[in-house]
Amino acid sequence: MPFTIRRAETSQDFEDYYSISFDLFKRYFYKGSKEPDEVLFEKHRIELQKVDFSDPTRSLYVAHDEKGVFAGALWVGVREQGFVWDLPEEIPSWVYDVEVVPSFRGQGLGRQLMLQAEEWTREKGIKTIGLHTSHDLEAALHLYRSMGYKENSVIMKKSLTSGISVLPDTPFTTRTPSATDNLSEYYELRIDSFRMLITDGAALSNEDIRERYPEFKVIFDLADPAHRAYLAETAEGTFAGFILARLQERGEEKRAWFLSIHVSPKFRRQGLGTLLVHKIESWCQAQGFKDVLMFLNVRFKGAVKLLQSMGFKATNFYMEKELI
């Protein structure tokens, strides 16, 4: 079926988008809310009305069938919040939302809207386009992969209600770090990780890397109860690894985000990564936390493999495509 795609202009265009996008926004921004849908929808409308789609850095498109019936929408723009590994001159465009009315699905409209997003990106002189999707949106994930989008980063998640990982037998000891501990080796490992991310195809000196490092360095307060960290050492007291998590409570929802997992190269493949993750899992379970999660760039293959072996699953995908 032929569709017409154009920029949103009329009040009806925007009302159509507010309506079709409500389910997605409710799922992500109003999860667990006990307010009626009428109240949440009004909040949703008010928030979207604050977005200036006349700004050249973003556009809202609407699609109609040959009879003028609203069929879908696309929100595309320059990504507003860059990842720490983005170079300033290489911020990609971002598909913030793509929606197809259920009765028009399976007719190629999703692909047409994505092609419109890519055309918008090229017109802006941007070389890369990205998006975020979830593992349970199987049709969308299949579409993106078929169009050449590849995973850049993932969110790995594990539910603690089904139990925690088995404690491995290792020669290392763990403890909570104190303010007097020298964590210089941990920060050097962080710098090495950052170097791998930002030098992929970029000619940056060590000085450049260290200048940008504060953007990647996790700043945390050991006295802050929202942070939980464990330091791993050998029997001789040599630094071996470090893990850091931030605890998050939203109403009755309690979860922990791993911010950093690092093992010294000379102590890898000895079960230390498993031990560190187990420590956080055990503590979270004792505190009544239901889930543990971690946002990971897929280039950290060792960390992805570790978490998969411990029962974590990829639930969210950040995907990118290089445009020719």
Which pLDDT score is estimated for 86?
A: 67
- Give the CATH fold of the 4-148 domain: Aminopeptidase (3.40.630)
How far is it, in rounded angstroms, from Cα 222 to Cα 244? Answer: 10
Q: Quote the pLDDT of residue 191.
A: 85
**Angstrom distance (rounded) from CA 140 to CA 143:** 5
| Nearest alpha-carbon partner for 244 in 197, 183, 290 | 183
Instruction: Please answer whether residues 306 and 158 qualify as being in contact, where contact means their C-beta atoms are separated by less than 8 angstroms.
Output: no
| 24, HSE (Cβ side, Cα atoms, 13 Å) | 18
Instruction: Supply the pLDDT for residue 209.
Output: 77
Q: Amino acid identity of 37?
A: D
What is the Cα–Cα distance from 111 to 120, expressed in whole angstroms? 14
Query: Does the CA dihedral 275-280-282-283 come out positive or negative?
Result: positive
158-313 CATH pick, 3.40.50.170, 3.20.20.80, 3.40.630.30, 3.40.50.10790 = 3.40.630.30
pLDDT digit string, tens, across residues 168-217: 888 999 999 988 888 889 988 988 888 888 766 566 777 777 777 777 77
- The ranges of the chain annotated as CATH 3.40.630.30 are 4-148, 158-313
State which residues of the chain have pLDDT below 50: none
In terms of Cα–Cα distance, which of 71, 193, 81, 56 is closest to 132?
A: 81
Tokens coding 146: 């078929």
Angle at 158 between CA 157 and CA 162, to 5 degrees: 160
pLDDT in tens, 234-275: 999 999 999 999 988 776 778 899 999 999 999 999 999 999
Contact in structure between 187 and 181 (CB atoms under 8 Å): no
Torsion sign across C-alpha atoms 163, 168, 172, 173: positive
The predicted structure's pLDDT at residue 206: 74
Question: What's residue 33's pLDDT?
Answer: 80
